[in-house]
Structure 1
Amino acid sequence: MKPRKAELLLIMVTLFWGSSYIFMKMGLDSLGEFNLIALRFGLAFILAAILFHKRLRSSINLRTLKYASLLGLLLLGVFTCITFGLQTTTMSNAGFLVALTVVFVPMLEVLVFRKKVAPPQIFGTVLAIAGIGLLTLNGSLHIQPGDFLCILAALFYAVQILVTARAVKSCDSLNIGILQLGFAGGYALVLSAIFEAPSLPSSMPGWIAILALGILCSACGFILQPVAQQYTTPTRTGLIFSLEPVFAAFFGYWFAGEQLSLQGYAGAALVMLGIVASELLGKMPADSHPLRGLKKRRAHL
C-alpha cells in the first residue's frame, strides 16, 4: 500500500471517530449509557471476530487474554466518561478535550516511566492547558461535569495507549485489538444489567446510531488503523488523528447547530496548537529540531 493511500484510510478512520459524538448523542435518546456502549462494542467484536476467526483461534493465549481484559476495562472507562460527559457538554467541547490524549501520553511517560520530556512537548502541554481553561471555564470559573469527564476520558485513553504499547511487544496486536472490544462490551453489558434495563434500540435513529458506532466507528476504525499505520510514519499518523476534534466540531455544527463562543474558538485553537506542537515538534530528531540546529550552526562559527 502506498503512503498516500494509507493516509487517506487514516483520514477516513479519523472522520468516523469524529462523527461518533453525534451518533452517541442520537443513541442516548433511546438507550442507557452502558447499554449503548455494550451494543456498540458487542457488535464491533462480533464483526471483527467473524472476519478474523482463523487468526483468533490459532493464536490466543493467556497473556493475550490478560492484556485484552485490562485494555477492555480502560476502553470502558474512556467511553463511559465520554458517554456520560455528552449529557452536559457539547460535541465540539468533547472532541477537543478527548484529543488531549496526545498531550497526556508524554506527561504519563514522564511521571510513570521517568522519561525525559522534550521542550516542545512542555510547550504543547502549556498551550493545551490554557486552551482547556478557555474551553471549559465559565464566568464563575466553574467547569461543567461533562467537560471534566471528557478530560478524564483523555487520561484513560492515554493509559490505554501506554498499556497497548507494552502489550503488543509480546502479543498479537490484531488479536488484542479485537478481544478488547469484546471485553469492553461485556463489562458494559454487566453494568447495564445492574444499573439499567438492557434493550435493543426502539427507534430508527437509535438503530442508525448503533450500526454506525459498531460498524464504522469501532469495527472499521480498530481494524483499519493498525493496517494503515504500517505504511506511514507515526508523526503523520498523529497529525491526522489530531483532526478528530475538528471533524467532531463540524458534525456538531452541521447536524446539531452547535457553535462555540469567541472564547471557545480561542480555546479550541490553543488545544489544537498544543496537540500539533506535542505530536510534530516533540518527535523531531535532535539534529533536525530548529532550535538545536541553530545552536549547532552557531557552534561552528
Structure 2
Amino acid sequence: MNMNKKNAEFLMLTVALAWGCSYLMMKVGLDIISPFNLIALRFGIAFVCLALIFLPRFRELTSVALGKGILMGVLIFLIFACLSIGVDKTAASTAAFLASTTVIIVPILECCLKRILPNKSIVFSVLLVIVGLYLLTVKDTITLDEGAVYCLFTALFYAIYIIILDRIAKKENTLLISIIQLGVDSLLGVLFMLCFETPTLPQTTVQWGAILGLGIFCSAYGFLIQPIAQRYTSSERIGLIFSLEPLFAAIISFIFLHEILDIKGYIGATLIFSGVVYSQLKNKNKKDIATTDIRSKDIAT
C-alpha cells in the first residue's frame, strides 16, 4: 500500500472506529468477566498476534527499548484498568465522551510542565468540557458517579501516556515498544486477576467474539497502525480524527445496547465534543500561522 497523508488519516479513522466499538465489546465482555480478567485476555491476545507476526524484528530489541516498553505497558494497564471499571459502572457512550477529554488534559499538563499559563482557547475548551461533564454525569446531587470518576482517571492516565511517549519513543523502534507494552499490560492483568478476581473464560459465542474483537481489532490493529500512521500526518489531525471516537461509541451503543441519554445528557455530550474539537482546531490554526510566519521570514531573507 502506497502510504501518504490521505491513506494514513483513513487508517487512523478505522482505528477511531475500532476504539469506538471497543466500549460495546467491553460491555459485552464485562457481563461475565471481571475487569482485570478482561485486560489479561484482551491484551494477551493482542500481544501473541503481533509477537508472532513480527517475531524476527525482536532481534533488534535493545535494553533501552525494553525498559521503555515496560514503562508504557504500566501506563497502558492503568488506562485500561480504569476504563474497564468505568465502563462496567456507567453507560458505554458516557464512558467514551469522558475518556475523550484526554485531548483537553494533554495541553493542560504541558502547560504545567513548561510552567506557562494556558492560552484562551484551552481555557474556553476546558470550561465547555466542565459544563458538559456536569450535564452528562451529575444527577440529583453535585457529585460524579463512580464510573465517571474512573473514566476521568482514564483520560488523565492516557494524557500522561501521550506526553511520555512523545518524549521517549522518538529514537527507538516504536513497533517493538508497542508490542512489549501489550505484553506487560496482559501480565499485569493476570497478576491483578489472580490477586483480586476469579479467573473466568467467555461462555458464549458472542462473548468470545467480543474478547477476540477487543484483542485483534481494537488492540493489536489499533496499536500497530497508530505509530505507523502518525509518521505521515500531524498530531493535530490525529487528535481531530480521534475526537470522532465517542460519536462512534454513542451511535453503536444506541444501536446495539439501546442506550439513550436524557436531554441534559445529550447537551452535555455535545459540549464535551465541542470542547475537544475546538481545542484541536485552534491548536491546528496556531500551528499553521506559525508555519506561515516562518516561511515568510525565510522568503524575506
- Regarding TM over 0.5, the answer is yes
Provide the residue aligned with 2:95 in structure 1.
94
User: Relative to structure 2, which stretch is displaced further, 94-103 or 81-90?
Assistant: 81-90
> After superposition, what is the alpha-carbon deviation per residue over 1:138-161, rounded to whole angstroms, capped at 9, x for unaligned?
122221100111011100110111
Shift of 1:225: 1.4
TM-score normalised to the size of structure 1?
A: 0.91
Aligned length: 289
- Measure, in 2, the Cα distance between the counterparts of 1:246 and 1:54: 38
- Measure, in 1, the Cα distance between the counterparts of 2:264 and 2:51: 45
- Change in Cα spacing, 1:247 to 1:6, as seen in structure 2 (3 Å) is same
Shift of 1:234: 2.1
Tell whether the 8 Å contact from 1:31 to 1:199 is kept in structure 2 after alignment.
Answer: yes
- Measure, in 1, the Cα distance between the counterparts of 2:288 and 2:189: 47
Structure 1 letter corresponding to 2:121: P
Shift of 1:119: 2.1
Provide the residue aligned with 2:68 in structure 1.
67
Tell whether the 8 Å contact from 1:30 to 1:203 is kept in structure 2 after alignment.
Answer: no
- Measure, in 1, the Cα distance between the counterparts of 2:148 and 2:217: 25
**1:1-301 equivalence runs, <5 A:** 1-58=3-60, 60-285=61-286, 288=289
Tell whether the 8 Å contact from 1:119 to 1:282 is kept in structure 2 after alignment.
Answer: no
Tell whether the 8 Å contact from 1:69 to 1:180 is kept in structure 2 after alignment.
Answer: yes
User: Relative to structure 2, which stretch is displaced further, 271-280 or 100-109?
Assistant: 271-280
Shift of 1:243: 0.2
User: Over the residues paired in the alignment, what is the CA RMSD in angstroms?
Assistant: 1.7
Shift of 1:230: 2.1
Shift of 1:116: 5.0
Tell whether the 8 Å contact from 2:86 to 2:147 is kept in structure 1 after alignment.
Answer: yes
Tell whether the 8 Å contact from 2:41 to 2:215 is kept in structure 1 after alignment.
Answer: yes
- Measure, in 2, the Cα distance between the counterparts of 1:117 and 1:141: 27
- Measure, in 1, the Cα distance between the counterparts of 2:287 and 2:211: 46
Tell whether the 8 Å contact from 2:111 to 2:118 is kept in structure 1 after alignment.
Answer: yes
Shift of 1:286: 6.4
> After superposition, what is the alpha-carbon deviation per residue over 1:51-108, rounded to whole angstroms, capped at 9, x for unaligned?
11122222x2222222211211111111111111122210111000000000011111
- Measure, in 2, the Cα distance between the counterparts of 1:111 and 1:257: 41
Structure 1 letter corresponding to 2:219: S
- Measure, in 2, the Cα distance between the counterparts of 1:140 and 1:110: 32
Give the fraction of aligned pairs with identical amino acids, expressed as a percent. 42
TM-score normalised to the size of structure 2?
A: 0.91
Which blocks of at least 5 consecutive residues in structure 1 are unaligned? 294-301
- Measure, in 1, the Cα distance between the counterparts of 2:209 and 2:288: 50
Tell whether the 8 Å contact from 1:77 to 1:153 is kept in structure 2 after alignment.
Answer: yes
- Measure, in 2, the Cα distance between the counterparts of 1:108 and 1:38: 30
User: Relative to structure 2, which stretch is displaced further, 218-227 or 228-237?
Assistant: 228-237
Tell whether the 8 Å contact from 2:12 to 2:225 is kept in structure 1 after alignment.
Answer: yes
- Change in Cα spacing, 1:171 to 1:2, as seen in structure 2 (3 Å) is closer
Structure 2 letter corresponding to 1:47: C
Provide the residue aligned with 1:299 in structure 2.
none
- Change in Cα spacing, 1:53 to 1:116, as seen in structure 2 (3 Å) is farther
Shift of 1:179: 0.7
User: For 1:285, what is the secondary structure of its paired residue?
Assistant: helix
